[in-house]
Homo-oligomer: A and B are copies of this chain.
């Protein structure tokens, strides 16, 4: 069955335009029928660049088109839940950027709509599609190194995003650590309890709205394993993305990629390259793979690999982390999800 899936992209900002380009260049399984942005001129510029013929300002136009089977939502977070509901109601399959929403109520309404409409939903946890993290997953799941004991994730951005973004981002635990919460579930399983500490050590302006730039979150998993995630908003040597699943009979470690493989040796020692600058570079192949997989799931009517429940659980853990931080105590997931 080699038919192409008709898809439209809603939201053509930073992430959206990456998805648009990937659909055009790298995902022959899809036919990009149209793109849409409330800022029409933004969508038009993208369309011109990539030779896309149909551009809309109002996504309802796309939802009304019966030839479009699926939508990719890459608008700002506060619009995700509403668009999901509309798209589900229109019977479209949905790929939505993370997070589904910052508020659990919104997430739940969106998921209910998806369930009622019997459409597919995949959430954009791109890191699940990284070949190194997938290999770790494969090794751990195979049982060849025993049972998981300790998960360690280091996730550090190269530099802070703009303050205006940070103010509406949901803060460290819902904007940045949310990737790690999903990765933790992907690698080790369900989380039962969270404890979070953090501080403002880089950008004092974060204190104005109670955000953090340096955090550690410890996790207890349902299978007895434990984990620690450390996050920072500023790693001057590049985008630091490391992962280890330590098990009873061995360990699986994913190290950083680097800009080049070169080393310069001189009287000071050996200087190796910095890490890739940021997620656009580091995870470029993942953005392709996640959408390709979604398209194939739609085409072949298979379940998507990152579900609405996955999207929801990461938000739940994010809220638990904030609650833990504010109340200075470990917080059980059941406090949110009894």
- Given known A25-B26, A195-B197, A226-B198, contact A262–B252 (CB-CB < 8 A): yes
For residue A206, which residues in chain B have a CB less than 8 angstroms away from its CB? none
Residues of B close to A252: CB separation below 8 A? 262-265
Q: Are B202 and A260 in contact (CB under 8 A)?
A: no
From the candidates B149, B152, B232, name the one contacting A214 in the complex (CB within 8 A): B149
Is residue A64 within 8 Å, beta carbon to beta carbon, of the partner chain? no
Question: What separation, in Å, do the CA atoms of A175 and B1 have in the docked complex?
Answer: 41
The answer to whether A210 has its CB under 8 Å from any CB of chain B is no
Copies per complex of this chain: 4
The answer, among B49, B139, B218, for a CB contact under 8 Å with A197, is B218
Contact across chains for A261 and B256 when beta carbons are under 8 A apart: yes
Residues of B within 8 A of A145 (CB): 264, 266
A266 touches B198 (CB 8 A): no
A253 CB-CB contact with B under 8 Å:
yes
CA distance A25 to B154 in the complex (A): 34
Q: Is A268 an interface residue (CB 8 A)?
A: yes
Partner of A215, one of B135, B226, B272: B226
A264 to B131 CA separation, bound complex (whole angstroms): 14
Residue A91 CB within 8 A of the other chain: no
Number of interface residues of A (CB under 8 A): 70
Q: In the complex, which residues of chain B have a beta carbon less than 8 angstroms from the beta carbon of A136?
A: 262
Nearest chain-B residue to A197 (Cβ)?
B226
CA distance A330 to B328 in the complex (A): 7
Q: What is A's interface to B at a CB cutoff of 8 Å? A: 25-26, 28, 49, 131-132, 135-136, 139, 144-145, 147, 149-150, 152, 154, 156, 195, 197-199, 201-202, 214-216, 218, 220, 224-228, 230, 232, 234-237, 240, 246, 248-257, 259-274, 328-330
Q: List 19 A-B contacts (CB under 8 A).
A: A131-B260, A156-B246, A195-B195, A195-B330, A197-B226, A198-B226, A202-B248, A216-B218, A216-B226, A218-B218, A235-B265, A236-B265, A236-B267, A250-B264, A251-B264, A255-B263, A256-B261, A268-B274, A270-B272
